[in-house]
């Protein structure tokens, strides 16, 4: 990335979480730093922390890459964020000087690694031999057998559950689900394992049995589809393989023809499970009106790709995963040069009926979408708070219910002031979770 | 598509899309909000209403299928009376290939298809209620973005920082701005239990905030704040206490005599709760004009009501009640003089509660001061007696105290005079007594009570007086903690230096000494005038530099104080 193109928003996007970004902002005033400086490539500083010695922070602007002596597992940590934010907002406040030992040594090691990697990359790769190809085919076959065996076992297990009845499952030992999920993970069908593990989360709800039956039958449908996959159209096969948990290599996806456009960020949502954070970013192309979903997995809050800011735009080429209803995409690279927000290009559905027709058609093409959340962009919706719920009313007086946390309900109400707004969110088949609202003056609210 | 998935029939999919259900299956259920189906045969009477949700189900068929499938899934296909034929019939409706399929497989496949169909066929309910009227256009300008960011940050990350937030809100109100809609929910939530800030909140939330508060019953305080005593069109005879009390408060503020007349007209019909509630606002603009009414009702049979009335009468300096009190106290306190100077007090304590003492409000068991019940009877008289009595009876304050100190009842009389000064909020006596109690052991309660009763001017005098003490920090902290009043620049500077010396002398080795007074600086930082912020910042920064190598428990609170000062400085330059 060009060093000059670092902006405040870009640096904020590097943060693994909102809390981390806020803490970084707090540390972005010079008062927290006892010493700081920079070279053309390196920025460093000493930040006073709770310990007796200040934390030593270094940022390599090529990358960017970071190092901090604090014990935080977050990458970048709040100290790095603080120094970086301060640097991009006030470069003149950093004097060009020789870096201290801790920063210079770290940069030297990085440079050594870079040289080694370049040398390796320049070494010509050997062509795969016939034996390699045969081994590869053997491994693929073994894996497919493994998955099939795991899925057949789960299919029988679900049938057994239905035979015995779901009646008391909510009080049964949760290991029941974990054990079956573990078997699926062993069989390399992690997608279905994840779906199975969500079932006990509904056990505290009054309609837990209905949710359990629905999830089990969705899984059953997916397993049946996998076992019959050779009869399905290629794109639907790809959907089934992906949902089962067979990941496609990013390099292969990027080989597909991409769609170049100026993409607007509509929402960024993160969910944590165990030590893994899943980040979902919805984008829309200004010219193509194509929606694209970026999915990033962040282990132990160590950000791999920058967190994009809603509703910034950037030029990029998106490569879509093969699917009968393509949504998930990969950018050509992780270098996003943000441009100012422009929401005037959006062409939302005029009402719920138009959106729901599109939704129904999407399910007709790819029925497994029913188990996932579906992007929804509808104009002229008036938020109304009634009976402890927030409803959105369209121009035809059709109403749908939203699932929003309490404060967001009132933030949206305050934003709209009783006037219609355009809403982007995710539809789960019964409720809408709004993420972005845009008013008539093109002002926006992120929820 | 489902045929392809479920049966592996390798043919071109010609079936209508699942989405065809939207409008395809026609028989709709009217008013589905009331769908409330119970399954009496099931052990837990599982209610399906919540599952079906508050949206229309398109087809009676799907509805029936949903219930039936769930019922059999819960019971278990082993135990249920569901025959393969029943399922096969339903499966055929969904064009599922039933050949060689178990009951469980059929049930799961139908449930899967039915689940997708239900979602694809979703039809939103119609909103039949008129939409609320939108918020009017904002008349006031919005605060600038940096002020929005600061206010949001304070409300979200440090809602306990009430003083700083209210300072910012007051500034917004003074400058004629209103807050941005994005802050409103946080602000209204934060303010709902902070009654003292409600008038400011009502001012800064603008039209959007007033509209928003109408939508949420939790924020109805905004409406009450806007129209507190403005409902002057009430029927006094029939209105409730909740309606009459604000009305009386309003009248006492604007036309006190009209309030008195109104109370007099219905006094004998008021129950004890109402009587006590109405006597409280009588202290607003209390004057000799109210004496006749108060005297008339002073024989009220209800003890608590009577006490409140006598307290009010005692606050009218020239009232007949004050004259009676002074006359009775004269009979108990006899001052000996030599060369016209008072030298000694002879006390004649009451021996019993007679009719006269009862009329003056003395109660047998009430204990105000240390000592026996007889000195407590005298103390009750002294508390209500106006402090100017001592000037007429003995002389100025030092003379009076000097004579009192010579009596056997010096401690008890000083306690009674302290309570008297607090009751009458007599600044001269209070300031003198604060210094007096500061030199006595076990005195903190009296000092705290006096400090809370001082007027702003007297409080400043007391602070200055304290700065002359040998070890003033404790008494300064009592004064500063008692009231949220700003110190002036020289006072602030002196206190910061005193604190610095204390910390440098004891702080490193004595944790108690070090941490006892440091919160005082934080409190001062919150309340000094904005013009003094820089001076205090300089003092504390100097101190912090000196303490840099010392433990965290010393430098951390000081660092926090610096942050408070910086934040206040930023706030005061935001608008």
Please determine, for residue B114, whether its predicted confidence score (pLDDT) is greater than 50. yes
- CA B153, CA B54: separation in Å to the nearest integer? 38
Candidates A167, A397, A430; nearest CB to B127: A397
A218 touches B112 (CB < 8 A): yes
pTM exceeding the 0.90 threshold for the entire prediction: no
Chain B residue with Cα closest to A374:
B119
Tens digits of residue pLDDT in B412-431:
999 999 999 999 999 999 99
pLDDT band at B59 (very low <50, low <70, confident <90, very high): very low
Is there a contact between A418 and B77 if contact means CB atoms under 8 Å apart?
no
Structure confidence at residue B232 (pLDDT): 63
Q: Residue B525 corresponds to which tokens in the numbers above?
A: 């930082």
Q: Give the number of beta-carbon pairs within 8 Å between A and B.
A: 214
Q: Residue A271 corresponds to which tokens in the numbers above?
A: 């969910």
Query: How close B208 gets to chain A, by Cα (Å)?
Result: 6
> Which helix (DSSP H) or strand (DSSP E) does residue A97 occupy?
none
Is there a contact between B111 and A213 if contact means CB atoms under 8 Å apart?
yes
Per DSSP (E only), the strands in A274-361 are 276-285, 291-299, 313-320, 329-331
Structure confidence at residue B501 (pLDDT): 80
Q: Supply the mean pLDDT for chain A.
A: 88
Range in A13-27, A368-382, B446-460 the model is least confident about: A13-27
Structure confidence at residue B447 (pLDDT): 92
- CA A425, CA A266: separation in Å to the nearest integer? 9
Please determine, for residue A379, whether its predicted confidence score (pLDDT) is greater than 70. yes
Q: Which residue has the tokens 């009976």?
A: A387
Please determine, for residue A10, whether its predicted confidence score (pLDDT) is greater than 60. yes
pLDDT above 90: percentage of residues in chain B: 32
Contacts of A445 in chain B (CB under 8 A): 182
ipTM reported for the complex, 2 dp: 0.79
Check residues B442 and B507 and name the one with the higher pLDDT. Answer: B442
pLDDT band at B72 (very low <50, low <70, confident <90, very high): confident
Please compute Rg for chain B using Cα positions: 38
Is there a contact between A418 and B104 if contact means CB atoms under 8 Å apart?
no
CATH class of the domain whose range is A352-446? mainly beta
- CA A332, CA A319: separation in Å to the nearest integer? 7
Contacts of B46 in chain A (CB under 8 A): 209
Please determine, for residue B295, whether its predicted confidence score (pLDDT) is greater than 90. yes
Tens digits of residue pLDDT in B162-208:
888 988 899 999 989 999 999 999 999 999 888 888 989 999 999 99
Structure confidence at residue A230 (pLDDT): 87
- CA B318, CA B334: separation in Å to the nearest integer? 22
Candidates B8, B19, B211; nearest CB to A231: B8
Of A274, A316, A309, A276, the C-alpha closest to A292 is A316
Is there a contact between A163 and B78 if contact means CB atoms under 8 Å apart?
yes
Structure confidence at residue A199 (pLDDT): 92
Average pLDDT of the residues in A142-159: 93
Phi and psi, residue A279, nearest 5°: -110, 125
Is there a contact between B51 and A407 if contact means CB atoms under 8 Å apart?
no
Q: Please report, for chain A, the start and end positions of each structural domain, with discontinuous segments joined by +.
A: 3-122, 139-244, 256-331, 352-446
- DSSP label at residue B86: H
Structure confidence at residue A303 (pLDDT): 59
Tens digits of residue pLDDT in B214-249:
999 999 888 877 544 445 667 888 888 888 888 898
Average pLDDT of the residues in B207-213: 94
Contacts of B48 in chain A (CB under 8 A): 207, 210
Chain A residue with Cα closest to B130:
A397
Structure confidence at residue A125 (pLDDT): 64
Q: Which residue has the tokens 């078997």?
A: A183
- CA A353, CA A381: separation in Å to the nearest integer? 12
Burial of A224 (0-12, 13-18, 19+ CB in 10 A): buried
Average pLDDT of the residues in A84-100: 85
**Which of B71, B74, B188 is the best substitution to test chain A (most A C-beta atoms within 10 A)?**
B74
Is there a contact between B70 and A22 if contact means CB atoms under 8 Å apart?
no
pLDDT band at A4 (very low <50, low <70, confident <90, very high): low
- DSSP label at residue B283: G
Of B254, B320, B322, B263, the C-alpha closest to B293 is B263
Structure confidence at residue B19 (pLDDT): 36
Contacts of A353 in chain B (CB under 8 A): 124
């Amino acid at each position: 990335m060009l060093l000059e193109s670092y902006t405040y928003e870009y640096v904020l996007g590097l943060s693994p979480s909102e809390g981390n970004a806020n803490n970084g902002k707090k540390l972005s005033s010079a008062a927290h730093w006892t010493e700081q400086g920079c070279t053309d490539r390196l920025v460093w500083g000493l930040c006073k922390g709770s310990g007796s010695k200040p934390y030593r922070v270094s940022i390599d602007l090529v990358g960017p890459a970071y190092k901090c002596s604090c014990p935080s597992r977050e990458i970048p940590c709040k100290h790095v964020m603080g120094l970086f934010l301060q640097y991009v907002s006030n470069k003149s406040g950093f004097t060009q000087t020789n870096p201290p030992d801790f920063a210079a040594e770290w940069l030297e090691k990085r440079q050594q690694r870079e040289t080694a990697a370049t040398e390796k990359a320049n070494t010509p790769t050997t062509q795969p031999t016939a034996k390699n190809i045969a081994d590869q085919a053997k491994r693929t076959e073994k894996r497919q057998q493994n998955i099939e065996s795991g899925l057949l076992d789960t299919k029988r297990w679900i049938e057994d559950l239905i035979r015995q009845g779901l009646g008391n499952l909510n009080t049964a030992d949760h290991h029941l689900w974990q054990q079956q999920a573990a078997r699926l993970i062993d069989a390399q069908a992690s997608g279905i394992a994840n779906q199975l593990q969500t079932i006990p989360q509904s056990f505290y709800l009054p309609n837990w049995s209905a949710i359990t039956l629905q999830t089990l039958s969705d899984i059953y449908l997916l397993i049946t589809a996998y076992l019959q996959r050779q009869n399905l159209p290629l794109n639907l096969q790809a959907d089934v393989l992906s949902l089962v948990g067979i990941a496609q290599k990013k390099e292969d996806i990027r080989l597909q023809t991409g769609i170049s456009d100026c993409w607007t960020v509509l929402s960024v949502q993160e969910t944590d499970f165990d030590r893994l954070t899943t980040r979902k970013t919805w984008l829309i192309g200004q010219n193509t009106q194509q929606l694209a979903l970026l999915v990033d997995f962040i282990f132990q809050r160590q950000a791999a790709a920058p967190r994009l800011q809603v509703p910034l735009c950037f030029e990029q080429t998106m490569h879509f995963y093969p699917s009968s209803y393509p949504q998930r995409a990969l950018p050509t690279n992780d270098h996003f040069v943000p441009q100012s927000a422009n929401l005037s290009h959006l062409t939302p559905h005029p009402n719920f009926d138009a959106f729901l027709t599109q939704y129904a058609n999407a399910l007709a093409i790819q029925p497994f979408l029913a188990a996932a959340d579906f992007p929804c962009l509808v104009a002229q919706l008036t938020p109304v708070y009634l009976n402890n719920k927030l409803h959105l009313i369209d121009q035809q007086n059709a109403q749908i219910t939203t699932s929003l946390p309490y404060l967001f309900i009132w933030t949206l109400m305050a934003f709209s002031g009783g006037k219609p707004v355009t809403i982007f969110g995710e539809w789960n088949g019964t409720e809408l979770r709004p993420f972005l609202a845009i008013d008539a003056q093109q002002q926006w609210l992120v929820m | 598509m489902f045929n392809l998935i479920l049966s592996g029939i390798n043919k071109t999919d010609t079936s209508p899309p699942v989405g065809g259900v939207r409008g395809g299956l026609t028989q709709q259920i009217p008013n589905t909000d009331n769908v409330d189906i119970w399954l009496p045969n099931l052990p837990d009477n599982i209610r399906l209403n919540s599952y079906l949700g508050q949206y229309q189900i398109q087809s009676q068929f799907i509805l029936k299928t949903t219930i039936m499938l769930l019922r059999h899934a819960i019971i278990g296909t082993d135990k249920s009376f569901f025959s393969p034929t029943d399922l096969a019939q339903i499966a055929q409706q969904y064009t599922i290939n039933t050949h060689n399929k178990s009951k469980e497989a059929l049930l799961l496949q139908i449930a899967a298809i039915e689940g997708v169909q239900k979602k694809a066929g979703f039809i939103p309910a119609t909103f039949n209620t008129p939409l609320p009227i939108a918020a009017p256009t904002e008349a006031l300008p919005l605060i600038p973005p940096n002020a929005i960011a600061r206010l949001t940050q304070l409300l979200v990350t440090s809602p306990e920082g009430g003083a700083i937030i209210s300072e910012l809100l007051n500034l917004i109100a003074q400058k004629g701005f209103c807050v941005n809609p994005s802050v409103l929910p946080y602000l209204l939530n934060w303010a709902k239990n902070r009654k003292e800030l409600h008038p400011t909140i009502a001012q800064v939330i603008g039209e959007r905030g007033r509209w928003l508060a109408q939508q949420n019953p939790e924020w109805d305080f905004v409406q009450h704040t806007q129209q507190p005593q403005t409902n002057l069109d009430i029927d006094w005879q029939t209105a409730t206490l909740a309606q009459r009390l604000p009305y009386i408060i309003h009248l006492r503020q604007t036309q006190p005599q009209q309030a008195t007349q109104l109370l007099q007209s219905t006094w004998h019909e008021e129950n004890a709760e109402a009587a006590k509630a109405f006597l409280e606002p009588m202290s607003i603009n209390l004057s000799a004009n109210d004496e006749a009414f108060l005297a008339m009702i002073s024989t009220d049979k209800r003890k608590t009501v009577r006490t409140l009335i006598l307290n009010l009468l005692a606050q009218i300096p020239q009232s007949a009640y004050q004259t009676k009190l002074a006359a009775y106290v004269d009979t108990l306190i006899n001052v000996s003089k030599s060369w016209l100077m008072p030298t000694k007090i002879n006390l004649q304590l009451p021996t019993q509660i007679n009719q006269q003492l009862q009329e003056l409000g003395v109660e047998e068991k009430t204990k105000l001061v240390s000592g026996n019940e007889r000195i407590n009877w005298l103390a009750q008289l002294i508390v209500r007696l106006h402090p100017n009595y001592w000037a007429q009876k003995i002389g100025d304050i030092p003379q009076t105290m000097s004579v009192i100190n010579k009596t056997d009842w010096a401690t008890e009389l000083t306690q009674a005079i302290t309570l008297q000064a607090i009751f009458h909020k007599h600044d001269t006596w209070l300031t003198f007594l604060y210094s007096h109690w500061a030199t006595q052991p076990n005195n903190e309660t009296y000092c705290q009570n006096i400090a809370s009763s001082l007027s702003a001017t007297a409080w400043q005098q007391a602070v200055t007086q304290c700065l002359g003490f040998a070890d003033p920090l404790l008494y300064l902290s009592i004064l500063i903690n008692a009231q949220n009043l700003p110190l002036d620049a020289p006072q602030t500077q002196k206190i910061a230096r005193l604190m610095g010396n204390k910390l440098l002398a004891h702080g490193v080795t004595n944790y108690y000494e070090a941490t006892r007074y440091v919160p005082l600086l934080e409190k001062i930082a919150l309340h000094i005038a904005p013009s003094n912020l820089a001076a205090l910042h300089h003092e504390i920064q100097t101190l912090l530099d000196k303490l840099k190598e010392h433990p965290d428990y010393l430098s951390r609170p000081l660092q926090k104080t610096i942050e408070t000062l910086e934040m206040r400085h930023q706030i005061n330059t935001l608008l």
